[in-house]
Amino acid sequence: MKNILAKNGGVPVRTKKFHEWPYADERELHNLKEVLDSRNWWRMTGSKVEEFEEKFAKMHDVKYCLGLSNGTHAIELALNTLGIGKGDEVIVPAFTFISTATAVLYCNAEPVFADIDPKTFCMDPASFEKAITPKTKAVIPVHMAGHPCEMETICNIAKQYGIKVIEDAAHGHGTEWNHKRIGSFGDMATFSFQNGKIVTCGEGGAIVTNDKDLYEKAYLIHGVGRPKGDTVYEHKVLGSNDRMNEFQAAVLLAQLERLPEFNERREQNAKRLNDLLSSINGIVPQIFDPRGTINSHYMYMFCYKKELFGNMTREEFVEHMNAEGIPCFVAYPAICNTSFFKARAFAGRVNITREYKEELIPNAVKVSKEVVWLPHYTLLGDDTDLLEITLAILKIKGML
Ligand SMILES: *Cc1c(COP(=O)(O)O)cnc(C)c1O
């Protein structure tokens, strides 16, 4: 009876929970209490945001970090800081979370889509180069699921054409490419600390950079134009309020202490799971380029080939996995295939006349239709967890 699928009334492969997420212990509690008692709940009078910024910058081998309200605002702020706006084009991968592209629209500029590498799901440098026009001002490579992009190649192309590089590192806390921390390659890099991310305070974000001028400019914009320590309503530039507060930083400081250990555990488990799942006909895991010397594994991704699963749709497969006790989801759609992009519903900000041709981004279109992903906390446990993930897939395939 064991092989009746759980969704059809059978016994699930797994009933045990995976590792808790978000995860916190007495360290978060201690830091939060300190902030509460201090009566300094915003960064302008407190010290936790600054402490966090110093640690986070150091961790990514960069000089400056600016704590922010969330990762979407971080991308918008990076674009604003670089002076990108009306009439400009910014190249983004077609396969990413929507914010990478909507941030460009929010700055009244046009996102232009580059294709991804079908093995690593990261932006394909050759497709990036092909998408460049005289209007291109910046490129936003995304370190997909924690897999670092080919940063030297991307930066070299960008330099040749005078294009700025903003790394969207929302998935890549502590990730390395060729022994160099991501976030330290581009002109600026952005991070997210949203609830599901591998370092989280519920909602939060950051920008890192090695450029003092960009840092100072971003600082002014993120705090409605006010310089550090201002008490006299000195507003130097047009800005918004993207500030991180002291509670967010209190939680993040504790989270950072666990990151190296968690990254290592996920790395080991992701490699092991790749070995296990690669042997299943019809499951093709994201391939880890060995030049990615640290991969944070924000998501564990694989392509699901439905033709090898009796044509069971990907959505059905995910439902079965969930019923068997394995959390997993379908991947992002290719951005230009989202309904508001198709409708060009950009709230009057940008008038895009360019057609979105799927033949320019074939890998992104294919991958977005095939990828299933498991959240990172499924990689924080032991070998039994990985075996049960494998067994659930085999069971759904009818091989148990
Ligand atoms: C999560 C995410 C963002 C946005 O971050 P928020 O903090 O949720 O605003 C941006 N880009 C990518 C690739 C993301 O996954």
Whether residue 225 is predicted with pLDDT greater than 70 in this model: the reply is yes
Question: Do 338 and 250 share a structural domain?
Answer: no
Q: What angle do CA 122, 125, 97 make, to 5 degrees?
A: 35
CB count, 10 Å around CB of 235? 13
Question: Do 143 and 65 share a structural domain?
Answer: yes
Question: Do 228 and 270 share a structural domain?
Answer: no
* Interior/surface letters 75-86, b for 16+ CB within 10 angstroms, e for the rest: bbbbbbbbebee
Q: Does 20 reside within a domain?
A: no
The pLDDT assigned to 400 comes to 86
Residue 385 is part of a domain; what is its CATH number? 3.90.1150.10
Domain end among 211, 229, 255: 255
Q: Sheet containing 329-330: which strands, arranged edge to edge?
A: 283-285, 299-304, 371-375, 329-330
Whether residue 2 is predicted with pLDDT greater than 70 in this model: the reply is no
Q: Is 86 a catalytic residue?
A: no
From the list 197, 212, 369, 395, the catalytic residue is: 197
The pLDDT assigned to 192 comes to 98
The pLDDT assigned to 40 comes to 98
Q: Does 21 reside within a domain?
A: no
Question: Do 225 and 129 share a structural domain?
Answer: yes
Question: Do 227 and 134 share a structural domain?
Answer: yes
How many Å lie between the centroid of ligand 1 and the Cα of residue 394? 33
Whether residue 211 is predicted with pLDDT greater than 50 in this model: the reply is yes
Six-digit token string for 205: 């974000």
CA 72, 75, 79, 80 torsion: positive or negative? Answer: positive
Candidate from 164-168, 295-299, 301-305, 339-343 with smallest mean pLDDT: 339-343
Q: Whose CA is nearest to atom 6 of ligand 1?
A: 71
Domain end among 255, 290, 308: 255
Residue 241 is part of a domain; what is its CATH number? 3.40.640.10
Domain end among 238, 255, 272: 255
- Split at pLDDT 50, 70, 90, the class of 1 is very low
pLDDT digits (tens, 9 = 90+) for 40-76: 999 999 999 999 999 999 999 999 999 999 999 999 9
Question: Do 107 and 135 share a structural domain?
Answer: yes
How many Å lie between the centroid of ligand 1 and the Cα of residue 153? 24
Q: Which residues line ligand 1 (CB under 6 A)?
A: 70-72, 96-97, 99-100, 142, 168, 170-171, 192, 194, 205
pLDDT digits (tens, 9 = 90+) for 247-258: 999 999 999 999
Question: Do 245 and 311 share a structural domain?
Answer: no
Region of 62 (left: φ > 0; alpha: ψ -120 to 50; beta: rest) is: beta
Question: Do 263 and 251 share a structural domain?
Answer: no
The pLDDT assigned to 218 comes to 98
Question: Do 266 and 226 share a structural domain?
Answer: no
pLDDT digits (tens, 9 = 90+) for 235-250: 999 999 999 999 999 9
Exposure on the CB side of residue 307, measured as CA atoms within 13 A: 0
Q: Does 336 reside within a domain?
A: yes
Nearest atom of ligand 1 to the alpha carbon of 204? 7
Question: Do 245 and 108 share a structural domain?
Answer: yes
The pLDDT assigned to 353 comes to 86
Question: Do 271 and 193 share a structural domain?
Answer: no
pLDDT digits (tens, 9 = 90+) for 118-148: 999 999 999 999 999 999 999 999 999 999 9
Q: Does 11 reside within a domain?
A: no
Q: Does 7 reside within a domain?
A: no
Coil, strand, or helix at residue 111? Answer: strand
Q: Does 362 reside within a domain?
A: yes
Q: Does 163 reside within a domain?
A: yes
The residue segments making up the domain with residue 102 are: 26-255
Mean pLDDT of the chain: 97
Coil, strand, or helix at residue 143? Answer: coil
Q: Does 279 reside within a domain?
A: yes
Nearest atom of ligand 1 to the alpha carbon of 73? 9
Nearest atom of ligand 1 to the alpha carbon of 142? 13
Question: Do 240 and 322 share a structural domain?
Answer: no
Number of domains the chain is built from: 2
End-to-end CA distance of the chain: 11
Q: Whose CA is nearest to atom 7 of ligand 1?
A: 71
Mean pLDDT confidence for 352-372 = 95
